[in-house]
């Protein structure tokens, strides 16, 4: 295994928990900016409509994927700066 990969894997695992927290906070803020109340809809909340629940889920998934990709890409770039090779 390449040294860059050895460095990237534990770094990626360590950052993943923070990524989830960051994505959750970004989703909550985005949901508020879109004019919705502070509480994000839960799929099992009987007082929320299908469209609200599904739009919220799609937005949450998109934000999570965006944040994860940005963090992973940033980590790989940092590893390349340190080791000189891309962690493929």
1-22 per-position pLDDT tens digit = 677 777 778 877 778 878 989 9
> What are the Cα distances from residue 58, in Å, to 6, 12, 52, 65, 68?
34, 24, 10, 11, 15
45-75 per-position pLDDT tens digit = 999 999 999 999 999 999 999 999 999 899 8
Q: Give the start-to-end residue ranges of the domains of the chain.
A: 20-83
Looking at the chain, the whole-number percentage of residues with pLDDT higher than 70 is 98
What are φ and ψ of residue 76, in 5° steps?
-65, -40
pLDDT band at 36 (very low <50, low <70, confident <90, very high): confident
pLDDT band at 39 (very low <50, low <70, confident <90, very high): confident
Contact 41, 52 (CB under 8 A): yes
What pLDDT, on a 0 to 100 scale, did the predictor assign at position 1? 65
């Amino acid at each position: 295994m390449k040294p860059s990969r050895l460095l990237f894997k534990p770094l990626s695992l360590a950052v993943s928990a923070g990524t989830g927290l960051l994505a959750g906070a970004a989703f909550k803020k985005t949901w508020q900016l879109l004019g919705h109340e502070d509480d994000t809809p839960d799929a099992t909340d009987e007082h929320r409509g299908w469209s609200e629940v599904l739009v919220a889920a799609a937005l949450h998934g998109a934000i999570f994927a965006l944040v994860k990709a940005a963090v992973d890409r940033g980590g790989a770039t940092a590893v390349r700066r340190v080791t000189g090779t891309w962690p493929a």
